[in-house]
Amino acid sequence: MRSMIDATPTDEEQNHWQTLRTLSGHLWPGDRKDLQLRVIVALVCLVGARLVSVYIPVIYKDAVDALSPKDMALVLPLAVIVSYGLARLSTTILGELRDFVFVRVSQHAQRGVALNTFKHLHHLSLRFHLDRQTGGLSRVIERALRGMQFVLSFMLFNILPTMIELVLVMAILSYYFDYRYPIVTGSTVVIYIAFTFIVTEWRLKFRKEMNDKDSAANTKAIDSLLNFETVKYFSNENHEYARYDASLAGYESAAVKSQRSLSILNVGQATIISAGVVILMYMAASGVVAGDLSIGDFVMANTYMMQLFMPLNFLGFVYREMKRGFIDMDKLFELLHVDAEVQDAPESEGLAVDGGRIEFDHVTFAYNDDRTILDDVSFVAEAGQTVAIVGPSGSGKSTVARLLFRFYDPQGGAIRIDGQDLKSVTQASVRSNIGVVPQDTVLFNDSIGYNIEYGRPGASEEEIAHAAKMAQIQGFIADLSEGFDTPVGERGLKLSGGEKQRVAIARTILKDPPILILDEATSALDTHTEQEIQQSLDEVSRGRTTVVVAHRLSTIVDADLILVLDGGRIVEQGTHAELVAAAGAYFSMWHQQQRVQEVQAQLREIA
Ligand SMILES: Nc1ncnc2c1ncn2[C@@H]1O[C@H](COP(=O)(O)OP(=O)(O)OP(=O)(O)O)[C@@H](O)[C@H]1O
Ligand SMILES: [Mg+2]
C-alpha cells in the first residue's frame, strides 16, 4: 500500500477525486429508489430555500421604497412586511426539511462505507492482517466516518448553497442594476476565497506545531508523574519543572503564532469584503444621485453583499476541516483498493469433494522472497487416510496446513483436492470443506457455548452438547456455575490452553467437514486427557482425510503416512513401521521420545 506521506499534491488531488466518486456512489445508491428520491427532495428544498432567501432583499427594497418620502402614501406597507417575515420563516423551514429528509441518506452512506470496509478487511489476505495492527485499522475507519460526516454536511449545507446563492445574486444584480454589479460581487468572492485558501494553507503549520507541542508537553507531564518515586529519590523536582515548563513555552509560542496568523486571516478577509462593499455602495449611491436608482435599490445592494459574505466567514475553518476529512477518507478508500493477495480465479467454481484426496505436487513456498519455507514438497493423502507431519520447530509443518487451507498460494507446484487445483476453485468452497484445529486457538470474547456453536451457527443444543462431549470438555463445562454461558474473556484468555484447545476441537467436530487439519491439536493437554481425546479424534477422523501435525509421536503411530519435515523439505516418508525400520531421522526422534517416556514412568513409580 502506498503511504500517504510520499504522495505528491497531484496524487493527493487525484485521491480526493477518487474519494468523491466513491462517496457519491454511496449517496446515490442505484438499488434504493427511495434514497434517490430523498436526495432529490433535499436538493429541491436546498434550491428553494436559496431562491426565497435571495428574494428577501427584493422585498426589503420594496418596503424601503414604499417608505421613501417622495410619494409616501402614509400607508404602512403591511403586506410587504408580512411577506418579508414569511420569506424568512420559509427559508428556515425549508432548511430543516432538507436536513430531515437527507439525514437518512447520509447515515445510510456511512453505514454502507463501514460495512464495505469491514467486508473488504475480511476479504484481504492473512498476510495483510499479520502486517497491520488491528487497532490502527479501526482508528482509520472511525476517523474516515467522522471526516465523511463533516465533508458531507459542509459540502451540502455550506458550500453548495453559497455557490447557488452567489449565482442567483449575480443574476439578480444584473437584472436590477447592470453588468458591473455582478462583476464586482463575483470578483470580491473569488479574491476572498483565494485569499482564505492561501492563508489557511500557510496557517496549517502553526496549528500542527501547536498540536505537536501540546502532546509533547502532555507526554512529559505524564512520564514525570509516572516516575514520581524516581523523581523523589533524586530530589529532581526542579529539573522536572524546568523540563515541563520548556515544553509549555514551546506550546505558548506556537499558540501565539497561530492566533496571530488567525488575526491576519480575519483582517485580510474583512478588508476584502469592505473594499467590495464600498465599491458596490459607491456605484449604487452614484446611481441614486443620478436618479437611476431608488433608495431601496441602494439598501438592496448592501443587503446582498452582507447576506453573501455571512456564510463565507467560516470558510477558513471549513477549508481546514474539509481537507482533514478528505485525507482521512482517502486513507480508508485507499485501503478499499488494496487487492486481496489470494483471489478467486475468474469464473471459478466450487470445490467438489469426493473422498477428499489431497495432493501436494512439488510445492515451493516462501512468505517473503528472502527465505524459502517449503522446498519441493510432494505427498499424497488418499481419500480417508490420515497423514501425519512431524519435524522440528520451524520446519514448516503449520505452513503446509495454511497452504492447504489456502491462506496463501504457493509460488511453485500445485495443491490439489480430488484432482482440482486449489487455485482454480473458490476459496469459500475450499474452506467450508476443511476443518482446522489450529496450533494457537483464539476465541471470541463471548460464552463457551457461542464459541462452540461458531463451528456451525444454528446448531441445536443437543448437537453442541454432543460435540463438547466428543472433545472431552463437557465435564469442565458441567462444573461451571454458568455452564455453556460462561464467558471466555478476551481472546479466550480466561480458559487454560488445554480448555481452549478442546473448545476448538468441539467446534470443528460441529462443523463436520470432509477434510480435517489438526495442528498440534492436543499439545496443551496432559498425557491422560490427550489419550482420552485421542480416541475421540480417531473416531472423528475416521472416514475423513486428516492431516495431523504432531509433536508426540506416540499419537500418530497408526497414521497411514508419516512425513518427516526438516528445513522445509520432506526428508523421510512412510508408515511408522517403515520409518522405524529405515533407522533414519524418524527412528532417532522416536527413540528419544520413548526414552523420555520410560524415564517419566520410572519417576512416577518412585514417587
Ligand atoms: N507470516 C509469516 N511471515 C514470515 N515468516 C513466517 C510466517 N509464518 C511463519 N513463518 C516462518 O516460517 C517457518 C515455518 O513456520 P511454521 O509455522 O510452518 O513452523 P512449524 O513447523 O509449524 O513450527 P512449530 O512446530 O514451532 O509450530 C518459520 O521459520 C517461521 O518463522
Ligand atoms: Mg506449527
* Residue-wise pLDDT tens digits, 301-325: 888 888 888 878 778 888 888 888 8
Kindly tell me if the per-residue pLDDT of 75 is higher than 80. Answer: no
Label each residue of 375-398 as H, E or C. EEEEEEECCCCEEEEECCCCCCHH
Give the cell for residue 259.
Answer: 492566533
Handedness of CA 398, 402, 403, 409 (dihedral sign): negative
Residue 8 is predicted with a pLDDT of 52
DSSP 8-state class, residue 369: T
Interval between CA 101 and ligand 1 midpoint (Å): 55
Strand 545-549 to 386-390 pairing = parallel
Mutate to test the pocket of ligand 1, among 125, 129, 342, 367 (most ligand atoms within 8 A of CB): 367
Handedness of CA 337, 117, 138, 431 (dihedral sign): negative
Interval between CA 504 and ligand 2 midpoint (Å): 16
Phi (first) and psi of residue 524, to 5 degrees: -90, 5
For atom 17 of ligand 1, the residue with the nearest CA is 398
Mean pLDDT lowest for which of 176-190, 417-431, 534-548? 534-548
Paired residues of 516 in beta bridges: 435, 546
DSSP 8-state class, residue 393: T
Percent residues over pLDDT 70 in the chain? 96
Residue 272 is predicted with a pLDDT of 93
Kindly tell me if the per-residue pLDDT of 215 is higher than 60. Answer: yes
For atom 14 of ligand 1, the residue with the nearest CA is 396
What's the rounded mean pLDDT across residues 517-537?
79
Sole residue written with cell 464459541 = 451
438-512 to CATH, choices 3.40.50.300, 1.10.3720.10, 3.40.190.10, 3.30.70.1290: 3.40.50.300
355-433+514-607 with 438-512: one CATH topology?
Answer: yes
Residue 310 is predicted with a pLDDT of 81
> Helices 497-511 and 461-470, interaxial angle, to 10°?
130
Kindly tell me if the per-residue pLDDT of 578 is higher than 50. Answer: yes
The pLDDT tens digits for 85-94 are: 898 899 999 9
**DSSP of 148-174, one letter per residue?**
HHHHHHHIIIIIHHHHHHHHHHHHHHH
Interval between CA 393 and ligand 1 midpoint (Å): 8
Given a contact cutoff of 8 angstroms between Cβ atoms, the answer to whether 467 and 455 are in contact is: yes
Q: List Cα–Cα distances, 545 to 109, 353, 389, 415, 541, in angstroms.
A: 46, 11, 14, 15, 7
| Mean pLDDT, all residues of the chain | 87
Given a contact cutoff of 8 angstroms between Cβ atoms, the answer to whether 384 and 555 are in contact is: no
Structural class in CATH, domain 1-175+320-340: mainly alpha
- At 5, the pLDDT band (50, 70, 90 cuts) reads very low
Interval between CA 474 and ligand 1 midpoint (Å): 33
Which sequence spans correspond to the domains of the chain? 1-175+320-340, 178-292, 355-433+514-607, 438-512
User: Which ligand sits nearest to residue 373's alpha carbon?
Assistant: 1
Kindly tell me if the per-residue pLDDT of 231 is higher than 80. Answer: yes
For atom 10 of ligand 1, the residue with the nearest CA is 367
Residue 435 is predicted with a pLDDT of 92
Residue 489 is predicted with a pLDDT of 81
The pLDDT tens digits for 30-73 are: 888 899 999 999 999 999 998 998 888 888 888 888 877 665 55
Mutate to test the pocket of ligand 1, among 124, 127, 397, 403 (most ligand atoms within 8 A of CB): 397
Which atom of ligand 1 is nearest to 396's Cα?
A: 18
Phi (first) and psi of residue 235, to 5 degrees: 45, 45
As for ligand 1, residues whose beta carbon falls within 6 Å of it are 130, 367-368, 373, 393-399, 439
Query: How many Å apart are CA 60 and CA 297, to the nearest integer?
Result: 9
Mutate to test the pocket of ligand 1, among 360, 372, 373 (most ligand atoms within 8 A of CB): 373
For 291: left if phi > 0, alpha if psi spans -120 to 50, otherwise beta; the answer is left
Three-state secondary-structure class, residue 549: strand
Which atom of ligand 1 is nearest to 126's Cα?
A: 1
Residue 135 is predicted with a pLDDT of 66
Mutate to test the pocket of ligand 1, among 127, 360, 395 (most ligand atoms within 8 A of CB): 395
Interval between CA 1 and ligand 1 midpoint (Å): 24
Residue 2 is predicted with a pLDDT of 37
For atom 22 of ligand 1, the residue with the nearest CA is 398
The pLDDT tens digits for 341-400 are: 888 888 888 888 888 999 999 999 999 888 899 999 999 999 999 999 999 989 999 999
User: Which ligand sits nearest to residue 395's alpha carbon?
Assistant: 1
589 Cβ contact partners less than 8 Å away, ≥ 6 residues apart: 390, 553, 564
Residue 487, judged by CB atoms within 10 A of its CB (0-12, 13-18, 19+), counts as: middle
The pLDDT tens digits for 254-268 are: 999 989 998 999 899
Q: List Cα–Cα distances, 91 to 37, 58, 192, 318, 356, in angstroms.
A: 21, 15, 26, 22, 70
Residue 343 is predicted with a pLDDT of 84
**DSSP of 68-127, one letter per residue?**
-STT--S---HHHHHHHHHHHHHHHHHHHHHHHHHHHHHHHHHHHHHHHHHHHHHHS-HH
The pLDDT tens digits for 133-142 are: 666 778 888 8
Three-state secondary-structure class, residue 499: helix
Which atom of ligand 1 is nearest to 402's Cα?
A: 18
Given a contact cutoff of 8 angstroms between Cβ atoms, the answer to whether 588 and 575 are in contact is: no
Residue 346 is predicted with a pLDDT of 85
User: Which ligand sits nearest to residue 402's alpha carbon?
Assistant: 1
Interval between CA 520 and ligand 2 midpoint (Å): 7
Query: How many Å apart are CA 266 and CA 200, to the nearest integer?
Result: 11
Query: How many Å apart are CA 231 and CA 73, to the nearest integer?
Result: 86
Strand 515-519 to 545-549 pairing = parallel
The pLDDT tens digits for 274-295 are: 999 999 999 999 999 998 888 8
User: Which ligand sits nearest to residue 563's alpha carbon?
Assistant: 1
Handedness of CA 37, 42, 46, 49 (dihedral sign): positive
Three-state secondary-structure class, residue 392: coil
User: Which ligand sits nearest to residue 399's alpha carbon?
Assistant: 1
For atom 5 of ligand 1, the residue with the nearest CA is 367
Taking Cα atoms as reference points, which of 282, 275, 294 lies closest to residue 58?
A: 294
Taking Cα atoms as reference points, which of 430, 371, 443, 429 lies closest to residue 401?
A: 430
- At 1, the pLDDT band (50, 70, 90 cuts) reads very low
Interval between CA 444 and ligand 1 midpoint (Å): 24
Q: What angle do CA 333, 339, 344 make, to 5 degrees?
A: 135
Interval between CA 393 and ligand 2 midpoint (Å): 7
For atom 26 of ligand 1, the residue with the nearest CA is 393
Interval between CA 517 and ligand 2 midpoint (Å): 12
| Assigned superfamily of 355-433+514-607 | P-loop containing nucleotide triphosphate hydrolases (3.40.50.300)
- The enclosing H or E element of 216 equals helix 180-226
Given a contact cutoff of 8 angstroms between Cβ atoms, the answer to whether 245 and 278 are in contact is: no
Phi (first) and psi of residue 429, to 5 degrees: -70, -35
Sole residue written with cell 469491514 = 118
Interval between CA 501 and ligand 2 midpoint (Å): 14
Residue 69 is predicted with a pLDDT of 66
Bigger pLDDT: 556 vs 523: 556
Interval between CA 503 and ligand 1 midpoint (Å): 24
What's the rounded mean pLDDT across residues 230-248?
91
Taking Cα atoms as reference points, which of 356, 446, 366, 348 lies closest to residue 402?
A: 366
- What amino acid is encoded at 439 in this protein? Q
